[in-house]
Amino acid sequence: MKTRLKSLALASAMLMSLAACSQAAGGNLDDVKKAFAEHFPGKQVKSVSATPVKGIYELVVDGKQVVYTNSDASYLFVGDLIDTKTKESLTEKRMAELSKVDFNSLPFQYAFKDVRGKGERKMAVFTDPDCPYCKKLERESLKDIDNVTIYTFLYPLTQLHPDAMRKSKQIWCSSDKPAVWTAFMRDGKPLTGADNCDTSALDKIQALGEKLGVTGTPALVFANGRLVPGAIDGSDIEELLKAK
Domain enclosing residue 170, as ranges: 103-242
Point out the domain boundary residue: 68, 83, 98. 98
Reported pTM: 0.74
Q: Would you call 193 exposed, middle or buried from its count of C-beta atoms within 10 A (0-12, 13-18, 19+)?
A: middle
Find the angle CA(231)-CA(234)-CA(236) to the nearest 5 degrees: 85
Split into its structural domains, the chain has a count of 2
pLDDT tens readout for residues 149-162: 999 999 999 999 99
CATH (domain of 221): 3.40.30.10
Q: At a CB cut-off of 8 Å and minimum separation 6, what does 87 contact? A: none
Same domain for 234 and 127?
yes
pLDDT tens readout for residues 120-171: 999 999 999 999 999 999 999 999 999 999 999 999 999 999 999 999 999 9
Residues 183 and 171: their CA atoms lie apart, in Å, by 11
Point out the domain boundary residue: 82, 98, 114. 98
Residues 127 and 102: their CA atoms lie apart, in Å, by 19
Q: Which range has the worst mean pLDDT, 26-40, 102-116, 145-159, 177-191? A: 26-40
What local confidence, expressed as pLDDT, does residue 138 receive? Answer: 97
Peptide bond into 156 cis (omega under 30): no
Residues of the chain above pLDDT 90, percent: 78
- Mean pLDDT over all residues of the chain? 88
Same domain for 71 and 132?
no
Residues 165 and 156: their CA atoms lie apart, in Å, by 6
Same domain for 10 and 73?
yes
Same domain for 49 and 110?
no
**pLDDT for 11 beyond 70:** no
Residues 119 and 87: their CA atoms lie apart, in Å, by 35
CA-to-CA separations, 233 to 1, 31, 173, 204, in angstroms, rounded: 21, 44, 30, 29
**pLDDT for 15 beyond 50:** no
DSSP string, 199-237: -HHHHHHHHHHHHHT--SS-EEEETTS-EEES---HHHH
**pLDDT for 4 beyond 90:** no
Same domain for 165 and 210?
yes
Q: What kind and span of H or E run contains 65?
A: strand 65-69
Same domain for 36 and 72?
yes
pLDDT tens readout for residues 26-37: 458 999 999 999
Residues 16 and 74: their CA atoms lie apart, in Å, by 14
